[in-house]
Structures are given as structure tokens and as C-alpha cells.
Amino acid sequence: MAIFRLLHASDLHIAAKPERVGISDIIPKAGLRFPRIRTDGTASWPHRRRLALTSSYSPDILEALIELVYDEGDQLDVVLLSGDLATTGKENDLQKARSCVYGDAQGLWYIGQPYGRPEVTGRLALKGAAKDIVLIPGNHDRFQSTPFPPFFLPGGALFDQHFPWNGRFGWKGEKVQEWVSPRKEGMQLGLVSADLTLRELGDAENGLFGFRGSLGQGKAYADIVDQMKKRTDDLRDEHPGIGLLWVVHFPPQYPKIDDFLRLLEDEALIKAAHERRISHILSGHTHFPCAYTATVSGGSRVEVLCAGTASQVVAPDGNFFHVLEIEVEEEGSTSIAFQTFQWDYKALQWVQVVCPLRD
């Protein structure tokens, strides 16, 4: 038996322009404003910030997350980023996201100048703190900008030029990757991660010609699910006794999810996980930390852990991430204990909390 520690963060929403409030986060919540507490303790409201089509990130919160990874040091076996690293799939947003994750030659990233304030101090990038980083794209990372509604279309490929997939750039259509840990007490942990973002607008459902669904839906394409099953089988053949988890951006069977945010064909993913003896799927997307059991007809079931949004600036439910302790036993069975951390705007630090439950 061995225990592996994994930090799971999602939905960073890094952008060239930080602290942007998305119109999409305001219109559905008419009349509602979400305060953010500044360092002096006063409230800063969204109208003090610039509006954008979609919300971006807080550099301060992201920096605090990276500092926590540095403080944890060798205690973490891997850092998992389960999608929506960038606010959009545009070149400038992806460049900033890459800078925050991998850094420059000195391992630093540059914050820019929000609100016109001079902010020229280099900050440490995540790569310098983490032993290993596993990441996958989310729907935002695949957004292609258009001059007409819905203003973003799925299927953007620029992400592949900025982030390595299986250690390679330009992964030429591959949608599944794996990560395998070094041996610990004779055991290994593996992650099988899949890109389930929409390939094209026509794959979406909901709204006029699928426009609404194209912004937030994913799809468990049959060929990708088959690849996940094959990669799982191959890893078990290559590493007998390995404990395996699956990683996707979109949580299957998420409780009471809006239709335009759901994972299409999610029953196929749950059934495949159950068939391959996968006990847990790790995901993001919903911006709310949640642990639940996804069950479909026939009795197939899998536990799902959603990490919430780590650093989006508009986060009415809060900013969160998880630290998982994954116990791998004989025959590769896995069990997970996890801690939920939330950003405390008053204390300006991450604090451990009880994982909220979605009604």
C-alpha cells in the first residue's frame, strides 16, 4: 500500500487582461453584484472593473496558489489542472496562461498592469514548484473568437501550441494522455486524462443552432472513450498493480447542471469507467467544489470530484482547490481522502474548509 498526494485545481481562467468581469456572469444574475475584498478590507464591486465577454482571473489568488505549492514542496507527487487554464483560446490569453504555468527562462511570470497600477515584479511560475504537472484543455481553452454571436466557437487548436500533451507540442489530434508516477513503496499511481471539448459547433445541443450549448458543453465522443479504455488496459499491462484515476474537464451527471453546461453522452463515460474498474473521475468546469456519485441505468457508477474554480475573479460561490490523498492497494484498487481549500478574502490566504454539497 502507498499514499500519493495530488493537488487538483481547475478553471484558472488566466488572461492577458486580469480582473475582468464577464457580461455572461452578470446578465444571468440581473441586479446581483459580487464583492471582492481588497487588502485594506473594503469592498471592490464589479463596476469598478472593466467588462469583458467572459470573466478572467485574479493574479493575487493565483500567486497565492502557486506559493502554496512551493510551500508544500516534496509533499505533492503531482499537480493536476483539469481545464480552462485560459479565459479564451486566443493567442494572448494562452501566452499568459503558459507564462503562469511554465514561466520564462528564470521561472517567473509577469503580472502586467491592471487598473493602470505599476506591477512589474516577477512572480514565480507553477513549474518551478511542482514535481510534475498534468493538464488538459477545457471549453474556454478551445474558444475561437468570432465577430458575431456567440462570439466564441469551439474547436480552437492554439492550445496545443502552448501546452505539451504527453510531453509533446502539436499532438496532432490525440485526445487521451497518461501520467504515471515513480514507484512508491512498490506501488504506482496513474492518471488517464481526456480532452472532451466540442470538436465543432454542430456537436453542441441547446439554443439557436447550438450556439448556447457550444459555449459550455463537452461530449464523451465514442472514439475518445474507447481510447481511454484502451490506454487504461495498456497501463495495467505495462505497470501491474497500478492505481488509476480518470480526468476530464466536464463532470458526468453533475447534480442539477444547466443544460448548456453539461457533458453530452456522459452515460457512456460512466459505463466505461465502471467497466474498467475506475473508482474516481476528477473534473472541473462547474466552478463549485463537489463530491458525488454518478450512477446510470444498469448500475454503473463512479465517484466524481469537482475542484471548483481556483482563480476566476467572479466567483460567487468562492475560489477553491482540492488536495487528494490517494491510497493505492494491491491489485490497483484506490481510495481517496481529500481536503478542500477556499480563498479567504479577509485573511488573504487559503484556508481548509468542509467541501460544500450541491443540493
CA distance 217 to 172: 22
What per-residue confidence (pLDDT) applies to 166?
66
CA distance 182 to 189: 8
Per-residue pLDDT reduced to its tens digit, 14-58: 999 988 888 767 654 434 444 443 333 334 444 456 777 789 999
What is the rounded average pLDDT of the residues 246-267? 94
What per-residue confidence (pLDDT) applies to 88?
95
pLDDT of 286 higher than 70: yes
Q: What cell was used for 147? A: 465577430
pLDDT of 299 higher than 80: yes
62 close to 11: Cβ distance less than 8 angstroms: no
Q: Which of 162-166, 261-265, 342-346 has the lowest mean pLDDT?
A: 162-166
How many angstroms separate the Cα of 102 from the Cα of each of 177, 291, 312? 19, 30, 19
Indicate the pairing of strand 289-295 with strand 301-307.
Answer: antiparallel
Across all residues in the chain, what is the average pLDDT?
86
Task: Say if residue 150 is preceded by a cis peptide, omega within 30 of 0.
Answer: yes
Domain boundaries, the chain: 2-353
Per-residue pLDDT reduced to its tens digit, 210-225: 677 888 999 999 999 9
The hierarchical CATH code for the domain 2-353 is: 3.60.21.10
- H helices of 239-295, in order, are 266-275
Q: Which of 32-36, 54-58, 127-131, 265-269 has the lowest mean pLDDT?
A: 32-36
CA distance 342 to 17: 24
What per-residue confidence (pLDDT) applies to 308?
94
What per-residue confidence (pLDDT) applies to 122?
66
Per-residue pLDDT reduced to its tens digit, 182-204: 999 999 999 999 999 999 988 99
Q: Which of 202-216, 217-231, 273-287 has the lowest mean pLDDT?
A: 202-216
Percent of the chain scoring above 90 in pLDDT: 61
Classify the C-alpha dihedral 162-165-166-168 as positive or negative: negative
pLDDT of 170 higher than 90: no
pTM: 0.90
What per-residue confidence (pLDDT) applies to 23?
75
Q: What is the largest CA-CA distance in the chain?
A: 59
What is the rounded average pLDDT of the residues 169-179? 78
Place of cell 509533446: 168
